Amino acid sequence: MKIKFTSHIKQHAGDILLECQDSFNYNLENLSFAVSDGVSQAYRPELWSRILTEAYVNNSDTFFIKDSENNLVVNPILGLSSKWNEAETFAYKNATPQEQFVLDMKKNAINVGAATFIGVKLVKEGVSFQTIGDSVLFFFDYETKELKAYSSMMPESGDMIFNNNPEYIDSNECNHGKIISGLLPYREGILFLATDALSDWIVERRFPSDKIERILRELMAISTHNAFDIWVDNARNEANPTKLKDDDTTFIAIEFIDTSDSNIEVGHNFTVKFDALMKDSLLSELNSQRSELEEIRSAKSKSELALRGKEKQITGLTSDLESCKTEVENKRAEITRLNSEIKSLNSQIKKLKADLSVSDSECRRLRSANSTLGTDKSNLENELRTSRQEVSRLKSENKKLESIINAHKSSPAPSTKKNEEIAQLNSELNEAATKMQILQSELDLLRDIVKKTRTLYDMNGKLTTLDLNTLFSQILGETLVSQEVHIQQTIVVGKPTGDGGFQM
């Protein structure tokens, strides 16, 4: 009998292979194969799934035993629970403090590992298998073109149930669900062991038969780990509601080519054990980290050079800062001085405002006085005009009198009547002289009044000396000159005689 088998594994997007909770293993000496999927809600499920697959392929004949109720259970003699505790303790010690913090929180919530499981062993009679959980064992028959599925979570309807609560075996070696087992006869076709994400994807595409056969042959033909990575990425990004879920994805495919001979001949399409894959992944990660470390070292050297340059700049800036500090202190002193001057100026402004207020009051008083003086001036002007008219009249009369006197001097001695007229004229002259004296007194009074008002304030509060002569000129309308009235009085001592004498 000729067989060919392929195995592949791909972790959840964004994880490294070391974090993958799926595992697979095989042993070509005893022709045993195993696939397991760690339950994500459990504690360190990836460690438990690896322990299960490794223990099965090395102890496939004694891995399961039947308990008192005839149910299959993990053989306690294998000590798998102790191995899980040892592996968990070792992994915890090698974790970073941050990782330990996360592990402590999860361990406090649930301190048990859990995983689904499929175990297959090729024996003389056929294909012996045991399975529990939503990891599914498929067989596609080349002759009948029929796809059969075997799982502990498949109801009588034949429809698989895929959810977040699968049946599993925990790290205390207890079953949560029933392990189903069976023996399949050898037939030409493909035996396919897959974890839940890929199993669900296959179930959605099981019809028509030629389509699922093409899919299984395509998976069998993937010859490199990188090629499987690409296939998984494409399947996860299909524009289809039933695209491959973004979860750990693992399978082992065994193709039975010729079943006529009982001797089994094994051919490899592509198979690398999970440990080797993980080693390669770790080496790749290490090389990546080395490259990153070299980049970091290079960046560090550049940073150190830049830092030294920055230190020089800082030294220069520190010197500039000290200079700036000195300048700032000087400016502060200058500001203090200016503030003092401002205060002094403010005081002066307040004083000036007070003085201005007083000046305003004085201006208002002067304006009022000026108004009064204007009225007095107007009154004086009226009086002076009247006096000027009276003076003009007196001048005229004085000229007339002078003419009469002159005529009298040149005329012969007056008669009695003439004497009476002369006496009358003398009386009028005396009366005129009296009036002239009165007018002269009024004029002197006006001069005194004007002298008292010669100094006045103008509207801006400045002192101005008024020219008295100019004032009188404006009032009288002519240049002010001293006016004197000469009154000639004739005293009669007798009657004039013909020879020019007087008779008493």
Q: Please determine, for residue 413, whether its predicted confidence score (pLDDT) is greater than 70.
A: no
Q: Identify the residue with better confidence: 417 or 491.
A: 417
Average pLDDT over residues 468-489: 48
* Whole-angstrom Cα Rg for the chain: 70
Contacts with 222 (C-beta within 8 Å, 6 or more apart), sequence order: 6, 8, 228, 231, 270
Residues 207-228: tens digit of each pLDDT:
899 999 999 999 999 989 999 9
Q: How confident is the model at residue 320 (pLDDT cuts 50, 70, 90)?
A: confident
Measuring CA to CA, which residue among 170, 191, 189 is closest to residue 179?
A: 170
State the pLDDT at residue 72.
97
What pTM does this model have?
A: 0.59
- The pLDDT tens digits for 67-95 are 999 999 999 999 999 999 999 999 999 99
Residue 173 has pLDDT above 80, yes or no: yes
The pLDDT of residue 452: 61
Is residue 451's pLDDT more than 70?
no
Q: Evaluate the CA torsion angle 260, 266, 268, 273 in order and state its sign.
A: positive
pLDDT at position 486 is: 44
Choose between 280 and 186: higher pLDDT.
186
Q: Cα(420)–Cα(414) distance, rounded to whole angstroms?
A: 9
Predicted local confidence at residue 303, as pLDDT: 76
Cα separation, 266 vs 257, whole angstroms: 10
Would you place residue 289 in the very low, low, confident or very high pLDDT band (cuts 50, 70, 90)?
low
- At 469 the pLDDT is 53
Distances (CA, A) of 378 to 240, 365, 439: 117, 20, 19
Question: pLDDT tens, 375-402?
Answer: 877 887 788 788 788 878 888 888 888 8
Segment among 131-135, 281-285, 340-344, 355-359 with least mean pLDDT: 281-285
Distance in angstroms (rounded) separating the CA atoms of residues 504 and 499: 14
Amino acid identity at 404: I
pLDDT of residue 363: 73
Please name which of 107, 109, 61 lies closest in space to residue 84, comparing C-alpha atoms.
107
What confidence tier does 184 reach under pLDDT thresholds 50, 70, 90? very high
